[in-house]
Structure 1
Amino acid sequence: MTGTGRKKPPLVAERRRGTAEKKTAAPRKRRKPAARKARRRGLIGWITGLVRWIVRLGWGLAWRGTAIIALLLALGTYYIYTTLPPVTELLDGRARGSVTMLDRHGEVFAWRGEQFGGQIDARQVSVHLRNAVIATEDRRFYEHFGISPRGVAGAVRINLSEGRGPLSGHGGSTITQQTAKLLCLGEPYDPDTWESERAYEDDCRQGSLWRKLKEAVFALAMEAKYSKDEILTIYLNRAYLGAGTRGFEAAAQRYFGKSANEVQPAEAAMLAGLLVAPTRYAPTSNIERSRDRAATVIRLMEEQDYLTAQQANAALEQPATLSEAAEARAGGYFADWVMETVPDFLAGKTTEDVILSTTFDPEIQRAAEGGLRETFETKVREGSKAQAALVVMSSDGAVRAMVGGRKFKGVAGQFNRAIMAKRQTGSAFKPFVYAAALELGFEPYDLISDDPLTLNIPGSGAWSPNNYDNRFRGDVTLAEALRDSLNIPAVRLSERIGRENVRKVAEDFGIVSDLASGPALALGASESTLLEMTGAYAGILNGGSSVTPYGLSELRLQANSTPLIGQAGGLGERVISQEAARKLVWMMSRVVEEGTGTRARLPDREAAGKTGTTQAARDAWFLGFTADYVAGVWMGYDDNTPLTGVTGGGLPAEIWKEAMLRIEGGQPARPLPMDLPAYAPPPPAAPPPAETIARDQAPAPEPQAGQPRRESPAEMAERVLLEVLGGLLGGN
């Protein structure tokens, strides 16, 4: 079949033009703002990409660095952790031991060195003390892991606000960090490495950034090794709390005379308040300042609900008071002296805890201080710089009290005038002249001339001693010459019996200082200490035997009951006979009853003594005794300025009396060990002719100490009786 029209086109879809063809076919205008936007978007994208790359790099470095630091921190913490010893080995951190002194009754009265009262446990210590420490030092102690970022940030803010460096002042340290510092980061004290213990402790307290980082690592190791209570236990045992105390047990004993387990809120607050500045706030230094600090601690305890309002008010109204021993702080001079008498390896440099039993009597010490204070307050002009010292001892040399100056409660190591000051003794030396004479056979009623005397001193020329009042009395008895402290008879007697005999008696009685070689020896031209002189007078009281003044009766280690050193008494060799001593005591009693020492007379008991005043009144002395005690008083200026209107029979005698009234008060009166002369004094002799005076200028032959003495009638009768009895009984 054939078609009739045009052939139709095939059914094929129309081909569409692509984008390129469209553009070619119909080109459009370019949009310039869009292009600029695209370029801008490209720049921002590049910067953003760079920032992102830097952030990614920083983050990568940061987490890797943090990981490295954390790893190093973990390794350091682990290493320290492995080196930490058991808690019990960390409680006593002292490099040296301590010395505790007991008085004659066995009570503690003084401490030296670093005291450690014994180990205490944070779980057993007084809850008030534990709370006071936490409230004051680290309120979040039981919450943190050894370091407190919040506390450090707060400390830095406070330091900057106060104009200091960020690490200067407040440290923000936790109790754990403070304990790490007390442990010196585990580095023990080595005397071969460190110049001194102080240098070692100063290094431990450094506040540098590196030190802080090491301290933080050590704290983390402690937190991993020990429990919170164990860390607090170390802290409570090692913290320094002033007055030589290490640990809260020692401090509680030192200040309050009780255990740290027994302290009450006011006492706990005072102890915790010491942590910020132990020396400044020590209650023995300034009790009011210590109480003010304790009040701050009490308020902190109340704010943190450790105390109720009622408990806090009670603690504020009744602040802590010191124990009797801590309050008195008696015996500082005595304690210093005893420490000097003990071997250094058992005292100042001991590594052990040492107990010293002493002869010290706190009641006598208070009496001596009271007598001295009373005299200066009532009879010495206000503002006077004059000083005084006083020593009291028993007749065997046991020292009971010592006042080395007018500051009774000073710190250890102060100048002790009783043992350190060597001063001329003046007429206080004269009893040794008369002791030598009595031992050589003289009697109290023997006569001696008080007429003018001139001696030729080789190399010095003529020397003429004078009496204090520039008067001459002719012949006087020995008793009168000593009673009125006449100089010329003392020199005559010394020259007659021989200076060497006088010197020997004085030295044997304990005057170890160099003695003058010329005739002025008899007038006390030599220097001596108050302790020496008082000990020598004790020899007169005890019947003529020498004594060595002593204060230590026993030394032992705290952990051992067996004494290492013991002292039963200070009696030594006999110097003069008991008969001579008893006569001398009688002669010295006349000094107090009717001579130059009447101001020392006691109303209810016998007393004997001797005054002494040196040239230009630079030194004034009174030394004397009752039947119970010997006491010596010195008065003068440290720079040797002359005293004004003061002699040995004045203020020193009054100080002696005031002290002895307090010492002997309430005690039964006992008679002095003395003998009255067996015969009456001979009638006064006629004045000697002029040639007698000239003859007296040359020394008489010197009798020797071993030469037979003139027998008294009593001695002769006793000797004859013994010879008869010996013949009858066949004795030798």
Structure 2
Amino acid sequence: MAETAADRNGSRPVQDPFNQEDRPRKRSNFLLRIDSWIDSSIWNAGFRVGEIWEEITIFFRRFRTRGVWKAVFEVAGEGMNAGTAGFVLLLALALPAFEETSGNWQARDDFAVTFLDRYGTEIGHRGIIHEDSVPVDQLPDHFVKAVLATEDRRFFEHFGIDFFGLTRAMTENVKANSVVQGGSTITQQLAKNLFLTNERTLERKIKEAFLAFWLEANLPKKEILRLYLDRAYMGGGTFGAAAAAQFYFGKDITEVSIAEAAMLAGLFKAPARYAPHINLPAARARANEVLSNLVQGNLMTEGQVIGARRNPASVIDRGDHEAPDYFLDWAFEEVKRIAGGFDQHSLVVRTTIDPGMQEAAEAAVETSLRQEGERYRASQAALVLIEHGGAVRAMVGGRDYGESQFNRASRALRQPGSSFKIFPYALAMEKGMTPDSTIVDAPIHWGNWNPKNYNGGYSGRVDMKSAFARSINTVPVRLAKEQLGEDAIGQIMGIAKKFGVETPIRRDVTIPIGTSEMTVLDQATAYAVFPAGGVQSRRHGIAQIVNYKGDVLYDFARDEPPAERVLSETANNSMNQMLTRVPYAGTARRAAVDGVLTGGKTGTTQAYRDAWFCGFTGNFTAAVWFGNDDYTSSNRMTGGSLPAMTFKRLMDYAHQGIELRAIPGVDNPLPAPGAAPLVASAATDADGNALPALQRPRSLNRDTTTVLRNLADAFERAKPLGAAGRLAAAPLQTSPELVPNTVER
């Protein structure tokens, strides 16, 4: 072998400590050691777990059961599993209920409000006057016993829900094949009165149960009973036993006799049916049942109640006292919203309600239900009437406030059907289309959705006004999909909000034909934009709020911003031209008020669950809904039937003796000066038979009313001067245009 120079010199090459060839090998060995450690650790852990599990299994084998005991423990184990799942479900259901208790819930009704109608006449009260609230210990013993014997005999024994009482009530109802007993406790009823509505839904009943438990856990029994007696509706527009005692007997609740206490206790079940000022015989019969309950519940003896049976209570003659309770409930919520920041909660509120209009609205709804409700299988209705300018003149929230205080005008959410189509059509008009523009009525698909027309057929190319009058479903869908541009659904939601719709609209491709729920109040608000010329209708029920010193705390005309334009004048005129065709050449011929130009749109939802007519003249806008509380289908009731007939009946009354306003953008057939006034024809039923006409009292014309209001404002601005009490009135504006040449009486 050849010798190198290094060998000859007697030296060896020095090994490099940073030898690049050794580093990969060392790294590989290190990773192999880590992998080996992980594998061994996992294997050892698994082996140990197996040993532990085997030890546990061996330990529990000594508890192994056979025969009957095995079945018992199997059922118990499955019960625990089901119980755990049920607990999680209950927690999920309880969370929405407990959200109702957020904030200072006891101060929600911390208002004492006296309501006046538009003319200044007192029409009712709302809120709680805490100074008049009587502690349970100070109430007559026979009154408390009468309430407990009738409403909740085991009140001081259960914890919110009386399962024994519920079972007993169900048994009695099955025996009678009808509802003869209720199973709700006083706590459940208080939970409904404080936090919920009277809407008959499963969700409400679940919330009611959880809130009953919550009240029992947070309040003593006597406080629960006091709140119940203070806040329950007692008929005649009164809330609470103290107010009812004053209204029916003219005395303090602490002074009522056994007979009077029994009559009051009988009102909690059905105040409309047993209100003594309406049906005294029924009230006395109900009071006799309460006396029997006292004896059966061992709370009093027959000898103690025999005097009350022989000498039943008499009541003060209140005449036909009827308060617009649905409107007052809504107005009270509006007062709390407006006056929430005021330092005073004892208020006098002038509302916009017109007693004559309210009575006519109630009569129109009740007449339609009595004459045609059974035929169409419709049991409920709601109506809102708004005058030009946004003032709510009438509100009907249901057929009978005493039977159900749930306001179907302001709270019930119902699909509007074709009456919602004003929004996609208005957007189309805003983007340059006209009533004479043409569009194709043909099958259309939007994702997995394939809308159908009411008659099942298609018309090919049609103009917009004909499609709107005939309520063709494919057209608004085609407008949204092909004509409105990017995010058409968002645009529809946006314009609905601009029109005054406060109910959140669901983002769904089906909303162009009205699948997203709305309230009757929202519908009336939106439709009132069209006779207002495309500006916000500014619906309102509160005209003025003052304290008991007379200081004006709120004035709608002063404190609310002016109406904003939400639809261009051109688009609004186009919409009015189409809307005024519907009552004359479309689906709402029964809504046309003879002598008064009428516009509007019908709406009928799937399976005939809801029927609508929303319409207007130059003076008034009204939204009318008919249906059933339990969402059952009607007998093919459409918006052009009962709703349209009810609208016409009310408008016949509303337009008597007033000056007709023009509908913007439409040639109105108004009478020439000096010509005979237009007279609306009588309303007709479904068979064309004339209904009895509602006669409206003669009233002042608009100019005279304006002068009188100016006089009233001048006197309000007057200031006392000197000891003699002379008044220095502010100058009265009497410009020629405000002074009529003639005055109608």
Q: TM-score range by the shorter chain?
A: 0.5 to 0.7
Structure 1 CA distance for aligned equivalents of residues 128 and 257 of structure 2: 17
Superposed, 1:125-524 pairs within 5 Å as 199=222, 243-244=238-239, 274=260, 278=264, 280=266, 286-287=275-276, 288=280, 320-322=316-318, 327-328=321-322, 330-343=323-336, 352-381=345-374, 384=377, 386-409=379-402, 414-450=405-441, 452-457=442-447, 460=448, 463-494=449-480, 495-498=482-485, 499=488, 500-524=490-514
Deviation for aligned residue 1:573: 2.1
CA distance in 2, matches of 1:456, 1:566: 48
Choose the corresponding residue for 1:113, options 123, 127, 138: 127
- What per-residue deviation string (whole Å, max 9, x for no partner) do you get for residues 6-49 of structure 1? xxxxxxxxxxxxxxxxxxxxxxxxxxxxxxxxxxxxxxxxxxxx
Deviations 1:633-682 (A, max 9, x none): 112222222222111111111121122223323434443223369xxxxx
Q: Deviations over 1:521-555 (max 9, x none)?
A: 22112221111111011112211112343212222
Q: Which residue of 2 aligns with 1:545?
A: 535
User: 1:547 touches 1:570 (CA, 8 Å); kept in 2?
Assistant: no
**Retained in 1: the 8 A contact 2:376–2:636?**
no
Structure 1 residues 290 and 246: alpha-carbon distance in aligned structure 2, compared to 1, 3 A threshold: same
Cα deviations across residues 420-449 of structure 1 (Å, max 9, x unaligned)?
111221110111122111122211111111
Find out whether 1:671 has 2:658 as its counterpart. no
For residues 445 and 333 of structure 1, do their structure 2 counterparts lie closer, same or farther at Cα, with a shift above 3 Å needed? same
Match of 1:104 in 2: 118
1:617 to 608, 616, 627: 608
Q: Does structure 1 retain, via aligned residues, the 8 Å contact 2:378–2:627? A: no
CA drift of 1:583 comes to 2.2
* Structure 2 residue corresponding to 1:529, chosen from 516, 519, 524: 519
Q: Which residue identity is paired with 2:336?
A: P
Q: What amino acid is the match of 1:626?
A: T
**Residue 556 (structure 2) aligns with:** 567
Deviation digits for residues 97-141 of structure 1 (CA, Å, limit 9, x no counterpart): 6321111111111212356999xxxxxxxxxxxxxxxxxx9xxxx
Compared CA separation, residues 390 and 277, structure 1 to 2 (3 A) = same
Shift of 1:395: 3.1
Q: Distance in 2 between matches of 1:496 and 1:383?
A: 38
- Cα distance 1:96–1:587, how it changes in 2: closer, same or farther (>3 A)? closer
Q: 2: CA distance between counterparts of 1:102 and 1:586?
A: 38
Pair 276,349 (structure 1): closer, same or farther in 2 beyond 3 Å? farther
Shift of 1:274: 4.9
Q: Which residue of 1 aligns with 2:43?
A: none
Counterpart Cα distance in 1 of 2:218 and 2:333: 24
The 3 A distance-change label for structure 1 pair 279 and 673 is farther
Aligned pair partner of 1:556 in 546, 552, 565? 546
Contact 1:369 1:659 in 2 (8 A): no
Distance 1:340 1:116, change over 3 A: closer
Q: 1:578, CA displacement in angstroms?
A: 2.1
Contact 2:237 2:325 in 1 (8 A): no
Counterpart position of 2:203: none
User: Aligned in 2, Cα 1:279/1:323: closer, same or farther, shift over 3 Å?
Assistant: farther
**Residue 279 of structure 1: how far off its partner (Å):** 5.5
CA drift of 1:382 comes to 7.0
| Whole-angstrom CA distance in 2 between matches of 1:623 and 1:609 | 5
Is residue 397–residue 571 contact of structure 1 (8 Å, CA) maintained in 2? no
Mapped to 2, the partners of 1:383 and 1:502 lie a distance apart of 32
Question: Paired residue for 2:589, among 595, 598, 605?
Answer: 598
The CA distance in 2 between the partners of 1:491 and 1:246, in whole Å, is 54
Q: TM-score, normalised by structure 1?
A: 0.52
State the SS of the aligned residue for 1:635.
Answer: strand
Q: Secondary structure at the match of 2:331?
A: helix
Structure 1 distance, partners of 2:376, 2:256, is 35
Q: Deviations over 1:354-391 (max 9, x none)?
A: 21211111111111111111111111227946321111
| Structure 1 CA distance for aligned equivalents of residues 409 and 606 of structure 2 | 20
SS in 2 for 1:547: coil
- Partners of 1:397 and 1:547 within 8 A in 2: yes
Superposed CA RMSD in Å reads 4.6
Structure 1 residues 344, 585: CA separation in 2 closer, same or farther (over 3 Å shift)?
closer
Change (3 A) 1:570 1:365: farther
Structure having the higher Rg? 1
Q: Which amino acid aligns with 2:363?
A: G
Contact 1:425 1:527 in 2 (8 A): yes
Counterparts of 1:243 and 1:578, CA distance in 2: 47
The answer to whether the 8 A contact 2:580-2:600 is kept is: yes
TM-score by length of 2: 0.51
Distance (whole Å) between structure 2 residues aligned to residue 197 and residue 362 of structure 1: 42
251 and 361 in structure 1: CA distance in 2 versus 1, 3 angstrom threshold:
farther
1:629 to 612, 620, 632: 620
- AA partner of residue 463 (structure 2): T
- Distance of aligned partners of 1:589 and 1:106 in 2 relative to their CA distance in 1, 3 Å threshold: same
Deviations 1:265-322 (A, max 9, x none): xxxx9999857765558998523159979xxxxxxxxxxxxxxxxxxxxxx9x98531
Structure 2 letter corresponding to 1:103: D
Task: Report deviation, 1:335.
Answer: 0.9
Q: Please report how far the alpha carbon of residue 577 of structure 1 lies from its aligned counterpart in structure 2 after TM superposition.
A: 1.3
Worse-superposed segment, 577-586 or 369-378 = 577-586
State which drifts further: 547-556 or 483-492.
Answer: 547-556
Which amino acid is the alignment partner of residue 335 of structure 1?
L
Question: Structure 1 residues 108 and 246, CA, compared in 2 at 3 Å: closer, same or farther?
Answer: farther
Change in CA separation of 1:280 and 1:476 when aligned onto 2, cut-off 3 Å? same
Give the gaps of 5 or more residues in structure 1.
1-94, 119-136, 138-193, 205-240, 261-268, 294-315, 678-732
Name the amino acid aligned to 1:562.
D
Cα separation, 2, equivalents of 1:464 and 1:389: 32
**Distance change in 2, residues 1:405/1:579 (3 Å):** same
- Match in the other structure for 2:88: none
One-letter code aligned to 1:539? V
- Retained in 2: the 8 A contact 1:96–1:350? no
Where 2:563 maps in the other structure, the secondary structure is strand
